[in-house]
Amino acid sequence: MDLTPIWLTLKLASVTTLILLLIGLPLAYWLSKGRSIIKIIIEAIITMPLVLPPSVLGFYLLLAFSPRHGIGKWLAETFNVQFVFSFQGLILASVIYSMPFMIGPIKSALQQLPVSLAQASYTLGKTERQTFIKVLLPNIRASVLTAIILTFAHTLGEFGVVLMIGGNIPNVTRVASIAVYDSVENMDYSSANAYSLILFCITFVMVISVFVFNKYKAKSPLE
Amino acid sequence: MIKVDIEKKLKAYHGQQVLKILGEFPMGSITKIFGPSGSGKTTFLKIVAGLIEPEKGKITVEDTVWLDTSNHISLSPQERKPGFVFQNYALFPNMTVQQHLEYATDDQQWIAKLLATGKLNTLSTHKPEYLSGGQQQRLAILRAMAIKPQLLLMDEPFSALDPKMKSELITELKLIWGEQATTVLIVSHNPQELEGLTEREMEIG
């Protein structure tokens, strides 16, 4: 059995989770503070992948980043970067597709913290940044860990959006979920079973770890 | 002198009510602020601290303007840096007693004195969840005092303390406030609770 799709999947999930963590923390913090029309629109856009068929998202990304026109053409001509049928395309699609799984738990946890925690820090002369790093973040670390694991696990299981923008190119875009589908198509049930079992085990261990980490807080990964 | 003249709309059960406060507090004085529940005592303290914006008003501390809505001046809480004891304590669950004080100040001698004042020396490595209500309240007071504020705003600061502890703590605190010339505003729904602490008082509502 070729293990490359598994390594490719783990690499994709790791890079996506790291990027989303860097984007997600400040974005979730900003969204958690008050309401405005702009915030509602941005939150709706971030949430869309939860309800949109992955193939629809993949289709629009395919159109948007096609090297024949628009942004895709400009990126290809200016920076020699191509998102369609490439690993970086998979990363872009995964970041968009898994964003609600990173933002949701962090934003929700921040909103549940008493506002007086941040206020107490401000009256001690601390900036918003200091308050976020020293007070808010340590008190939502269970939710941050949940968000990281959910994002990683969700990226492992991506299929439609990855297939649309990345195709099925061995060693480049053929991730484990596509390898399962491809193996079944080719009647290679043994490989399909091996890929599936590995994905199942990795995901199970991750979800279990969330429960173990949060055991005293009695939090489900979906909270 | 701290001069306050503010106006803020408050949401009430029967529509809106307007909180209007006009007052002067000499530097170094201790004033108890009392009034019924929902009259706006906490809101008043938060307006002074810069945590809530009033619709109209002006706050000056000596020669410094903290707030002047007509000239769009409003210093941030970080610039005003008042000591603030929250009614719900607002302790940081991730920090121990010692870390709370170290977050506010680097002065280890001052931290040691505060811990002794609040009788929390033996609990310095404990996090808030392992402290009793009274111990948490004392920590909230010590943390606010750790920055040696010019103005200390206290919202029901002694409600969880037993009479003996309250009396001992108030005696210690009065000494420190006197040494540091701290101006103190103490909110209480029960004016008798602070008898003997100060004669200055202000009623809201």
- The residue of chain B nearest to residue A136, with distances taken between CA atoms, is B92
Q: Mapping DSSP to helix (H, G, I), strand (E, B) and coil, where does residue A165 land?
A: helix
Is there a domain that residue A53 lies in? yes
Is there a domain that residue A178 lies in? no
- Report the C-alpha gap between A132 and B163 in whole angstroms: 37
Q: What is the model's pLDDT at position B117?
A: 92
Is there a domain that residue A115 lies in? yes
* DSSP letter for each residue of chain B: -EEEEEEEEEEETTEEEEEEEEEEE-TT-EEEEE--TTSSHHHHHHHHHTSS--SEEEEEETTEEEEEGGGTEE--HHHH--EEE-TT----TTS-HHHHHHHH---HHHHHHHHHHTT-GGGTT--GGGS-HHHHHHHHHHHHHHT--SEEEEESTTTTS-HHHHHHHHHHHHHHHHHHT-EEEEEES-GGGGTTT-S-EEE--
Taking only the tens of pLDDT, chain B with its 205 residues reads 999 999 888 877 777 788 899 989 999 999 999 888 888 899 999 999 999 999 999 999 998 999 999 999 999 999 999 999 999 999 999 999 999 999 999 999 999 999 999 999 999 999 999 999 999 999 999 999 999 999 999 999 988 888 888 888 888 899 999 999 999 999 987 767 777 777 788 888 7
pLDDT tens digits, A102-117: 999 999 999 999 999 9
pLDDT tens digits, A40-54: 999 999 999 999 999
How does residue A75 score in pLDDT terms, banded at 50, 70 and 90? confident
Is there a domain that residue A3 lies in? no
Looking up residue A89, the CATH number of its domain turns out to be: 1.10.3720.10
Give A132 to chain B, closest Cα distance, Å.
12
- Report the C-alpha gap between A78 and A76 in whole angstroms: 6
A69: DSSP letter? S
How many structural domains are present in chain A? 1
H helices of A33-86, in order, are 37-51, 54-64, 70-79
How does residue A199 score in pLDDT terms, banded at 50, 70 and 90? very high
Query: Rg for chain A (alpha carbons), in Å?
Result: 20
For an interface test with B, which of A33, A124, A126 has the most B Cβ atoms less than 10 Å from its Cβ?
A: A124
The angle subtended at Cα B159 by Cα B158 and Cα B163, nearest 5°, is 70
**Is residue B115 within 8 Å of residue B139, measured between CB atoms?**
no
Give A67 to chain B, closest Cα distance, Å.
50
Is there a domain that residue A35 lies in? yes
- The residue of chain A nearest to residue B48, with distances taken between CA atoms, is A123
**Is residue A39 within 8 Å of residue A170, measured between CB atoms?**
no
Q: What is the model's pLDDT at position A218?
A: 45
According to DSSP, the β-strands at B83-85 and B151-155 are parallel
Kindly give, in sequence order, each residue whose CB lies less than 8 Å from that of residue B83, ignoring residues fewer than 6 positions away: A123, B144, B145, B147, B149, B151, B152, B153, B182
B92 touches chain A (CB under 8 A): yes
- Report the C-alpha gap between A186 and A2 in whole angstroms: 15
B4 has which bridge partners?
B23, B59
- The whole-model pTM stands at 0.87
Is there a domain that residue A201 lies in? no
Is there a domain that residue A39 lies in? yes
Give B92 to chain A, closest Cα distance, Å.
7
Q: What is the model's pLDDT at position A215?
A: 67
- The residue of chain B nearest to residue A125, with distances taken between CA atoms, is B78
For an interface test with A, which of B42, B75, B78 has the most A Cβ atoms less than 10 Å from its Cβ?
A: B78
Q: What is the model's pLDDT at position A217?
A: 56
A126 touches chain B (CB under 8 A): yes
Q: Select the residue of B80, B82, B88 nearest A114 (Cβ to Cβ).
A: B88
Is there a domain that residue A153 lies in? yes
CA-closest candidate to residue B98, choices B82, B85, B110, B80: B110
For chain A, the farthest-separated pair of C-alpha atoms sits apart, in whole angstroms, at: 66
CB pairs under 8 A between A and B: 55
The more confidently predicted of residues B167 and A120 is A120
- Residue A127 structural domain: 10-173
Three-state secondary structure readout of B84-133 = EECCCCCCCCCCCHHHHHHHHCCCHHHHHHHHHHCCCHHHCCCCHHHCCH
